[in-house]
């Protein structure tokens, strides 16, 4: 059983569309991170959120941490083919840097 469930698992959209990826858990996290992974490479950090209700923006990407620090969302505005990849959330349950990854969302943006 995964500690963090992501939805949707797969997403295929046209260039210019908006999308939201969800990361949900019944556990509370001291911080939550979002990563993007491309084929043949390791995940690369996009953002870290640490405060309940926190919203962070990275160009066309908006990340939100739930008030109870159990869930998070990633919203992409006007998706581009370069956004294609596997998006992963990861939660740190304790201050000992024990990171548990979500189930992943595979995004394909069609030109």
Partner 1 sequence: EAGVAQSPRYKIIEKRQSVAFWCNPISGHATLYWYQQILGQGPKLLIQFQNNGVVDDSQLPKDRFSAERLKGVDSTLKIQPAKLEDSAVYLCASGTLGSPLHFGNGTRLTVT
Residues 6+ apart with CB under 8 A from 16: 78, 79
Q: Give the nearer residue to partner 1 in terms of CB position, either 51 or 77.
A: 51
Say if residues 101 and 37 touch (Cβ distance below 8 Å). Answer: no
Using alpha carbons, select from 63, 62, 60 the residue that is nearest to residue 81: 60
Rounded to whole angstroms, the Cα distance separating 83 from 2 reads 25
Q: Select the residue interacting with partner 1 from 14, 82, 95, 111 (CB under 8 A).
A: 95
Locate tokens 């923006």: which residue?
57
Tokens, residue 23: 């990361």
**Which residue in 33, 69, 71, 74 binds partner 1 (CB under 8 A)?**
33
Binding-site size, partner 1 (CB under 8 A): 25
| 90 touching partner 1, by CB under 8 A | yes
Indicate the SS3 state at residue 55: strand
Nearer to partner 1, 82 or 96 (CB): 96
Binding mask 36-75 for partner 1 (x = CB under 8 A): ----xxxxxx--x---------------------------
Residues in the site for partner 1, rule: CB under 8 A? 2, 4, 6, 33, 40-45, 48, 86, 88, 90, 95-104, 106
């Amino acid at each position: 059983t995964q500690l963090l469930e992501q939805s949707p698992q797969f997403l295929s959209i046209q260039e210019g569309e908006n999308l939201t990826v969800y990361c949900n858990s019944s556990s509370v996290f001291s911080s939550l991170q979002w990563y993007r992974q491309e084929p043949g490479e390791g995940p690369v950090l996009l953002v870290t959120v640490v405060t309940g209700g926190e919203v962070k923006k990275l160009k066309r990407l908006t990340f939100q941490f739930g008030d109870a620090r159990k869930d998070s969302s990633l919203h992409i505005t006007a998706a581009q083919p370069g956004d294609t990849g596997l998006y992963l959330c990861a939660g740190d349950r304790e201050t000992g840097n024990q990171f548990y990854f979500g189930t992943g969302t595979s995004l394909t943006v069609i030109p």
